[in-house]
Amino acid sequence: MDFLNSTKANGMLTLLEFRSLLLEPIFVRCVSGLLHAVLLLVLFCSWVRGRNNGFGSVTERLKDRRGFGFKSVLFCSLVLSLLNLVLTSLSGFYWYESDWLDEEQLVSLLMFLLQTVSWGVLSVSLHRCSDYEQRKSPLLLRIWLAFYLAVSCYSLVVVDKRQVHLLVCDIVSFSGALLLCYVAFFKKARGGNNSNGVLEEPLLNGDSTGGGGVGSDEATPYSRAGLLSLLTFSWMGPLIEIGNKKPLDLEDVPQLHDSDSVVGLAPKFRTMLESSSDGGGGVTTFKLMKALFFSAQWEILVTAFFAFIYTVASYVGPALIDTFVQYLNGRRQYNNEGYVLVITFFLAKLVECLSQRHWFFRLQKVGIRMRSSLVAMIYEKGLTLSCHSKQGRTSGEIINFMTVDAERIGNFSWYMHDPWMVLLQVGLALWILYRNLGLASIAALIATILVMLVNFPFGRMQERFQEKLMEAKDNRMKSTSEILRNMRILKLQGWEMKFLSKIFDLRKSEEGWLKKYVYNSAVISFVFWGAPTLVSVSTFGACILLGIPLESGKILSALATFRILQEPIYNLPDTISMVVQTKVSLDRIASYLCLDNLQPDVVETLPQGGSDIAVEVSNSTLSWDVSSESPTLKDINFKVLPGMKVAVCGTVGSGKSSLLSSILGEVPKVSGSLKVCGTKAYVAQSPWIQSGKIEDNILFGKPMERERYEKVLEACSLSKDLEILSFGDQTVIGERGINLSGGQKQRIQIARALYQDADIYLFDDPFSAVDAHTGSHLFKEVLLGLLSSKSVIYVTHQVEFLPAADLILVMKDGRISQAGKYNDILSSGTDFMELIGAHQEALAVVGSVDASSVSEKPALGGQEDAIGLDGKQESQDVKNDKPDTEETKRQLVQEEEREKGSVALDVYWKYITLAYGGALVPFIVLAQVLFQLLQIGSNYWMAWATPVSKDVEAPVNISTLMIVYVALAVGSSLCILVRATLLVTAGYKTATELFHKMHHCIFRSPMSFFDSTPSGRIMNRASTDQSAVDLDIPYQFGSVAITVIQLIGIIGVMSQVSWLVFLVFIPVVAASIWYQRYYIAAARELSRLVGVCKAPLIQHFAETISGSTTIRSFNQESRFRGDNMRLSDGYSRPKFYSAGAMEWLCFRLDMLSSLTFAFSLVFLISIPTGVIDPSLAGLAVTYGLSLNTLQAWLIWTLCNLENKIISVERILQYASVPSEPPLVIESNRPQQSWPSRGEVDIHDLQVRYAPHMPLVLRGITCTFKGGLRTGIVGRTGSGKSTLIQTLFRIVEPSAGEIKIDGVNILNIGLHDLRLRLSIIPQDPTMFEGTVRSNLDPLEEYTDDQIWEALDKCQLGDEVRKKDLKLDSSVSENGENWSMGQRQLVCLGRVLLKRSKILVLDEATASVDTATDNLIQKTLREHFSDCTVITIAHRISSVIDSDMVLLLSNGIIEEYDSPVKLLENKSSSFAKLVAEYTARSSSSFD
């Protein structure tokens, strides 16, 4: 029995022991370790079995690169691996603290190490394995996961709750196990059992292979890099090596992978934004933020994890300093404690470095993705914006959304984790302080919170200043954009300096807010640089009050903690400022995305053949402004059958262009219906030409069909033009067709429409910009030839084109007043009779010529009908000239210039010395040096004046200790205030000087500069580069100076203790400099490429906004989106690789400085105790902890400065453009009454546009008598406009002279000349502002004089109808006024000016005949005693002139009175008149 009882008791005991063993944490750790060993074994066997498939058999179930499953598992594996790595370090630390005797810590160490390796291997296998079909998850893996979940759950129950780190580990492990089990057991593969998720991703609207710049799925250096290469950024090596051998070009920069390309990002972002906006209410700031987050959530979470690891690792040093000081003081806890401490310090630095580098790089990736997605959305919106919405937002504003706001939101990625990191850093700091100083840490907490609270009012002020600054910038950019577009007009009128002063006024308003913004930043900088000092004074003061003994080890640990705490507190104002700026930008973009789009249902589009009617408009009332009481078009009814020709005519402002716009769906519909059957092609009244090759403009996205292409060129009279051009149809057109004449632009537009082979053609008066012969040729060949079977609706002012129409619509006040065939409506109403009467009146002037005498062959047809680049940057090669040499074959618009090699020191010097001659710089440096000395002095004082341990007496009493410390702290804070104030003052002054210099130089540059420079390049400098100069560069300079001084201070402190540190420090610095020089060659060019690649993106966007109607009419939106994406990726590529290059460098510098730190620690623990004061050694370690950060930061800021200084370099480029001759020459000013007679004497005038180009005018000699009217005629390209430009000195003659009333115009100032002459230009231009500011920008005339001028030009009644009269608004480009009304405003300007010489440059091209007659009558009446020089396409405009000058190929062919020229029937002028009369009298039936 006893035996049984004994056995039973033993059994119970064994059972109890077994149960207690099961509840032991060490048992659970062993089981968990064993389980992970099994996973490692399975992964190894799997790898051996299937090396070709990666870790296929185990990981294939989890492999879905795009789906939740794969990302979740990879993230989970990484987190578990890195968490176990941290716990391995902690266990090792606790083990050595127990003198290597604690077996439980040894088991934990081994277990954590095993888990680190197994999860790490799983992460690598998932990352590296290739895409292949997903099959069912292996049974083995699912069994293992089930066991792992059970063990994690059990571990959570038995864990010792007092060991916080183990509790955290178990919670994370359990959460991970749950997620992994869900993925393995329940998550289904997308696309069914046999599909590959990746392969099923749809392409973006079809083919997305855009080449050059568009991301691809092909392996890129980043995507194909191995784990070690990714960790060390070695994948950047080849590109940096290329950059060292030669200056990098965009072709050298690898493509982006599909995951970083806008091609993949834009549709995903759009989908997320639309899904978040399903609830209605449009796009809000919150919805935009949400979509941005979810479009990059994986990268954001990974960066958050790296940020967490970095923060934890950065606090290991401060936590161990006290232990290190005690070790140096002789208190050794176990053998080799010193080496363990050194290894721990070094490993912490290693983890800190790796995590920070990858955190920063991925943050920049996120920023690039966000910016690309936003740019795509902003562009998309620009394509669909309604005209009414567009009037509320100018193109300058919309461009700012792309260049400034999207960029800022992209830059916000740097700051996105700062808010929660501040809390974590403060929490860790308080924990270290509590360990060392007990309850005094509460004082540190209160002081920290107070400092942070002080920031909120400053933050709010910063937000307000930022908003106002952006508004002011928008206004300035809007005006700049408009002025650059119309610079030719401003120079002709002599108004450029007045408009420059307008820009300066707008900048002054911007500078007011900029000044407030930067000085507010200076105050914030002072508060937060002084914050660590305040916190430390509060904490040490609390220690004294609470009686907590101050020992040097604890003091140094606290000081190291304060130094680290300084970073989040210092960055907090920047973060708040950035949050504020980003919110402002998000608000602006969200409000823009909420604007109304075009109504999609205005026009019902039927497929080709879907109806027997091409266009049907029934009872339609349409209005540009739906809220307006008087609609633009009222009760419109008409039908167009296939093949019909419909003419639309009417007086200026009757609604002709609006009628065409309504058929395109551009005008909002109030009532009625519009139906269109088939495709459309549209030719606008104002030509819209893209910069690029002529061929690309004509093809407009269609494939080349050579036969059709040649036919189109022939029909549009373009073949001869192209033969003359050096590059033929490969000639690059400047921005807005700047190097083409008006007629050429119009004919390229017509060619573009013809090549599309559409069903319905809409022409908005395209014949007005070409001469009589070309106009009739176009009408015959195009409308009656190639388009004979098509439906055509054409607006025209030329009455001679009306009889050929099947239907004529006569417009008056927005209604169709008459409709029918020519002969039918001739007798049925007065409106049409008025137009015909005006035409007959014009013909009567030419009535002396017998129409029958006109030869069948056009008079000048025998000559080349070549339309060279009339008065523009290239011209025809006349037969007498030499053939093209290689030098002459040069395109007008060249690649944007960029400097090569390092930024010249001269650029830095100019920047530094621009403000007050650089007088503030020494004071800024002195203030920082004093701050650093006082900081080191205060810390040195605390280390020296406090005892190493309790049993050592302090050298000074407590009160002395604190008084000296506080005095040093206050002194250092004052130095910061001085430095911050002086820095922003110098930065502000420099920005202002640079702005004024650049703008003054641009406005004074010759017209050739604007012809060959796309405005996008100037705008880029005026917005992006100027922003960098305003807000970034001063801080970059300050940052470099501060970091250099801090670094010298640290090395000084470290060398005090251990001079041997120089043995390592000198070679490390040499290696760092070598790395920096090796890196900078590539980085500099990448940074320049970023600047160069931005201008085409802005320019393409600006062109798209101005030509959106044309783009939509041709249904080319998707192609333009593709181009935008290609350009956006072209801009992102150098940014992405620039970020990679930066991290490549920083990683290597971090490693080098960590080695320096490790060496100094090894030296300190190797010397005998007592040789070095432990307190000073601790101080050296305290400073040494930030050595790697500071050294990397110095190189980073140096490189960043060099990258940013490129903005200054680019501004200085445009601040040194050669100027025009002086505006006023004081020693040679003409008399006030000059010119009194208005006689123009031209002698042997020769003009060429550039030294390498042929002559355009070849020795012209003639005299325009004072008070006479002279008409200049000739084919387009004969040199008519060039002659006028030379008269105004827009182009300087190569030889010869022009005298006006005996004064050589080459010897007087430009303004003295231009302000005494008047011109009505070919393109009628109005500026945003009021009617008054448009008529009298120089504010020289009274209201009565302005009203008188308006009445004379027949606009008085129109302006009186408006509520604000002379203060009525004029929108950008005068778009709320018709083309004819704009021309009448130009007439009003010259009526006000009343110059003795008036030039009309094809001034009546865009008005109807009646208005033309009105203008001619007004001019005859009010300029009867003036010299009037007229360039005209309409013979009626010049037939009643006193003299006619006929130019041909840059020489005078005929010059005499019209009567004498007409008497000679063989004269070219007589033939030209006869041809015009024949055309006007004929009906093209």
Write the pLDDT tens digit of every residue in 1439-1474: 778 888 888 888 888 888 888 888 887 888 887 777
Instruction: Please compute Rg for the chain using Cα positions.
Output: 39
Tokens linked to 924: 């800024």
DSSP assignment of 603-668 equals SEEEPTTS-S-SEEEEEEEE-SSTT-SS-SEEEEEEEE-TT-EEEEEESTTSSHHHHHHHHTT-SP
Among 1378, 1375, 1437, which residue's Cα sits nearest to residue 1405?
1437
pLDDT > 90: what percent of the chain?
3
**In the chain, what's the furthest Cα-to-Cα distance?**
154
Q: With 0-12 CB in 10 A as exposed, 13-18 as middle and 19+ as buried, what is 863?
A: middle
Buried b / exposed e over 333-372, threshold 16 CB at 10 Å, is: eeeebbebbbbbbbbbbebbbbbbbbbbbbbbbbbbbbbb
Residue 199 has pLDDT above 60, yes or no: no
The average pLDDT across 1218-1242 equals 87
What is the edge-to-edge ordering of all strands in the sheet holding 1295-1300? 1255-1264, 1240-1248, 1295-1300, 1303-1304
Q: How far is CA 37 from CA 40, 49, 74, 170, in A?
A: 5, 18, 19, 18
What span, in angstroms and rounded, lies between the C-alpha atoms of 763 and 687?
Answer: 11
Q: Are 185 and 50 in contact (CB under 8 A)?
A: no
Q: Provide the token pair at 1220.
A: 């025009």
Quick one: tokens of 1085?
């060019």
What confidence tier does 58 reach under pLDDT thresholds 50, 70, 90? very low
Which range, of 460-464, 689-693, 1238-1242, 1471-1475, averages the lowest pLDDT?
Answer: 1471-1475
Question: Which tens digit of pLDDT belongs to each residue from 860-894?
Answer: 333 333 333 333 333 333 333 333 333 345 555 55
* Residues 1281 and 1431 sit within 8 Å (Cβ to Cβ): yes
**Cα separation of 1201 and 1040, whole Å?**
8
Instruction: Give the model's pLDDT for residue 53.
Output: 43
Q: Give dist(CA 44, CA 37) in Å, integer.
A: 10
DSSP assignment of 14-65: HHHHHHHHHT-HHHHHHHHHHHHHHHHHHHHHHHHHTGGGSSHHHHGGG--T
Asked whether the predicted pLDDT for residue 105 surpasses 80, the reply is no
Residue 1396 is classified by DSSP as S
Q: Which residue has the higher pLDDT, 533 or 1132?
A: 1132
Residue 624 and residue 653: Cα distance in Å, rounded?
A: 14
Q: Please, what is the end-to-end C-alpha distance for the chain in angstroms?
A: 133
Whether the Cβ atoms of residue 1254 and residue 1285 lie closer than 8 Å to each other: no
Residue 135 is predicted with a pLDDT of: 42
Token match 């089990």: residue?
Answer: 181
**Alpha helices, DSSP H, located in 531-611:** 531-546, 552-593
* Per-residue pLDDT at 1046 exceeds 80: yes
Per cent of the chain over pLDDT 70 is: 80
CA–CA distance from 696 to each of 700, 745, 1017, 1215 (Å)?
Answer: 6, 14, 22, 34
- Whole-number pLDDT of residue 1088: 79
Running DSSP on this structure, what letter comes out for residue 216? B
902 pLDDT higher than 60: yes
> What's 1308-1320 look like in SS3?
CCHHHHHCCEEEE
Average pLDDT over residues 733-757: 78
- Of 689-703, 721-735, 1218-1232, 1266-1280, the least confident: 721-735
**d(C-alpha 1391, C-alpha 1418), whole Å:** 9
- Return the structure tokens found at 1464: 């000679």
pLDDT, residue 196, reads: 31
Prediction pTM value: 0.65
Tens of pLDDT, residues 114-160: 777 777 777 776 665 534 334 444 566 677 777 777 777 777 666 55
Q: What are the tokens at 825?
A: 């409506």
As a whole number, mean pLDDT of residues 1093-1121 equals 85
- Determine the distance from the C-alpha atom of residue 690 to the mean position of all C-alpha atoms in its chain, rounded to a whole number: 20
pLDDT of 601 reads: 79
In the numeric block, the tokens 């551009």 are attached to 666
| Res 281: pLDDT | 61
Beta bridge partners of 681: 761
Tell me how crowded residue 469 is: count the other CB atoms within 10 A of its CB: 24
Give Cβ neighbours of residue 922 (< 8 Å, ≥ 6 apart).
none
**1324: Cβ–Cβ under 8 A, 6 or more apart, which residues?**
1374, 1379, 1382, 1383, 1385, 1386, 1406
> ∠ at Cα 1010 (1006, 1015), nearest 5°?
150
Residues 6 or more apart whose Cβ sits within 8 Å of residue 303: 359, 362, 363, 366, 416, 417
Determine if residue 610 is left, alpha or beta; phi over 0 gives left, psi from -120 to 50 gives alpha, anything else beta.
Answer: alpha
609 has pLDDT over 80: no
Cα–Cα distance measured from residue 130 to residue 53, given in angstroms and rounded to the nearest whole number: 7
Count other Cβ atoms within 10 Å, centred on residue 901: 9
Contacts of residue 132, defined as CB under 8 A and 6 or more positions apart, other chains included, come to 53, 56, 60, 63, 196
Whether residue 369 has pLDDT greater than 80: yes
Angstrom distance (rounded) from CA 194 to CA 61: 12
The answer for 1096, left when phi > 0, alpha when psi is -120 to 50, beta otherwise, is alpha
Burial degree of 1363 (CB within 10 A; 0-12, 13-18, 19+): exposed
User: pLDDT tens digits for 930-986?
Assistant: 988 998 888 788 777 777 666 666 677 777 878 888 888 888 888 988 999 999 999
How far, in Å, CA of 416 to CA of 227, rounded? 27
Q: What is the pLDDT of residue 130?
A: 39
pLDDT for residue 1273? 85
Residue with more model confidence, 503 or 767: 503
